[in-house]
Amino acid sequence: MQKLSAFFIGLLFGLGLMLSGMTDPGKVQGFLDLAGAWDPSLAFVMGGAIAVGLLAFAVAKRRTRSFLGSGMYLPKATEIDRRLVLGSLLFGVGWGLAGFCPGPGLVSMAAGEVKGLVFVLAMLMGMVVFEWLERMSAKTRTT
C-alpha cells in the first residue's frame, strides 16, 4: 500500500510540475532573468508550494507517525554552515544555467526530453563526485 501511495503522490507531483511550467527550462530562466524579460509566474507556483509545505510541516511536527503508519523523521539541523551555503550557491547556479532542479529534471526526462536526460545524468555524476570527495575527506580526517 505504501509503495502504491508513493507512486500516485509522485505522479500527482510530476503532473503539478508539468502544469505549472516548472519542467520548461525557458520558463525557469525567464523567472531568474530579473534584468531582462522577467516572468513572475513562477513566484506564484513557489508561493503555493511554500504554503503547502508550511502547513504540512505544522501537521507533521505534531505527529509521531505518518498517515500510512511509518515513523516521522523530521530534520533537526538548524545551523547555517559553510557546506550549506556552498551547496545552496552551487544548486542556484546549476538551476539558473540548466533551468532544472531535480524534480522537474526527472519529470522532463521521463517525458522523453533530451535536456532532462542530460540534466539527470549530470546530476548523477555530481552525486558520484560528491560521494567520492566525501570519502576522500573522511580518509584524510582519520589518518
pLDDT in tens, 45-93: 889 989 999 999 899 888 888 888 888 888 888 899 998 999 999 998 9
Average pLDDT over residues 5-31: 88
Q: Count Cβ atoms within 10 A of the Cβ of residue 62 and give its class: 0-12 exposed, 13-18 middle, 19 or more buried.
A: exposed
Task: Pull the grid cell for residue 99.
Answer: 533551468
Q: Which of 34, 9, 32, 10 lies closest to 104, judged by CA?
A: 10
How many Cα neighbours within 13 Å face the side chain of 123? 21
Of 123 and 3, the structure prediction assigns the larger pLDDT to 123
Q: Looking at the predicted structure, is the pLDDT value of residue 119 above 80?
A: yes
pTM over 0.95: no
Q: How would you label 15-48 residue by residue, b for 16+ Cβ within 10 Å and e otherwise?
A: eebeebbbbbbebbbbbbeeeeeebeebeebeee
* Phi, psi angles (nearest 5°) of residue 21: 90, 5
